[in-house]
Amino acid sequence: MTKAAAAPAVVGPIVIVPVGTDDDALDACLAALDAATAPGTPVWLADDAQAGPRGYAIIERWIARTALKADYTRRQRSVGEVAHLDEVLAACGDADVAVLASDAFPAPGWLSRLSSALASDGAIATATPWSNAGEAAAWPRIGEIDPVPDDLERISRAAKAMPALHPELPAAVSHAVLLRGAARRRAGGLDATSYASWYAALIDLSLRLAGLGWRNALCDTAFVARRGEGGPFDGDMDALAARWPDWHARLANYLMQDPLRASRVQLASLLEHLGPPEPQRDLFV
C-alpha cells in the first residue's frame, strides 16, 4: 500500500485522514468513519511516516474490509505535518476535501451535510461541524472539552433537525473541516514555512480565505467528536501573532460573546426531546 502521493480520481469530496502515531485512536476513528460515511466515498489515509507496524496492520485490515473507496500512502521520511498535508491537498486539485483528525469520531451524515453547507453558499470556503472538542464550534459549551458522547447516532439525528444557518466562525477548527478546493487553491494552500501544526496552518488559511472574501462557516447540522482539541507546535502562536496581530483578541472576544449560544441551546433541546429512530433510516444524510 505504500506509494507516491496521488489523489483518488474522483469529482466529489475526498476524505483525508492524516495518519498519526496513536494506533488505538486511529482504529476507533476508522471504525466510526466506516459506520458514518456513505459506501464508495473516497478516503485517503495519508501517512507522513508516522504509523508503526501495528498501525500499518490496522490500516491494512481496514482497507481490506471497508465499503469506502480507500487508499493509503506513506512517505519513507517525514516532511512535517503541514508540508505533508499541503502536498496531499495540492494533489487533490480543485476537489473539495474533508480533513478528518485521526482521533476523531464522525457522526452519521457528517460528510453529506458538510457538502450541503458548501453547496448552499458559494462564498463558504470552509465548513466545520459541531464537536465536543471544537473550540469556537464546541458543544454543549463553547471553548470547553467534553467527553466523547456515548451515542453519536442520536446527536446526528438531533443535528439534522437544526436549521441550516451556517453562521460565521472566526476560523475553521481542526477536528474536521471541509475545504472548498477552488478557494484553497486561490488562497495559495498551506504555509508550511511559517507553521509546523495543522492546527495553526488551518487558522492561517482560514484568515487568508476571509481576507479574500470567503466565509468560514459552522455546519450546524453535522457533528464530529474528538478525544481532545488539536494544538499548536512550538513557535506557531508567535508566527500567527506576527502575521495576524488581532487574532488572539478576536478569538477571545468570540469565545466571551458566544454568538452561537442560542444554537447550542437549540441542539441540546432537540437532543433531549428526540424520539426513537425511524425504521430503515438513512444514516448518510
> How does pLDDT run across 62-80, given as a tens digit for each residue?
999 999 999 999 999 999 9
140 upstream amide cis, omega within 30 of 0 = yes
In the structure grid, which three cell numbers stand for residue 1, read together? Answer: 500500500
Ranges 6-10, 147-151, 180-184, 259-263: which has the least confidence: 6-10
Cell triple for residue 71? 487508499
Cell of 225: 467528536
Alpha-carbon gap, residue 276 to 285, rounded angstroms: 17
Residue 55 CA to residue 133 CA, distance in Å, equals 24
Q: Do 94 and 102 contact (CB within 8 A), yes or no?
A: no
pLDDT, tens only, 80-110:
999 999 999 999 999 999 999 999 999 999 9
Classify domain 14-272 at the CATH topology level.
Answer: Spore Coat Polysaccharide Biosynthesis Protein SpsA; Chain A (3.90.550)
Q: Taking Cα atoms as reference points, which of 86, 99, 96 lies closest to residue 177? A: 99
pLDDT in tens, 34-66: 999 999 999 999 999 999 999 999 999 999 999
Cell of 184: 484553497
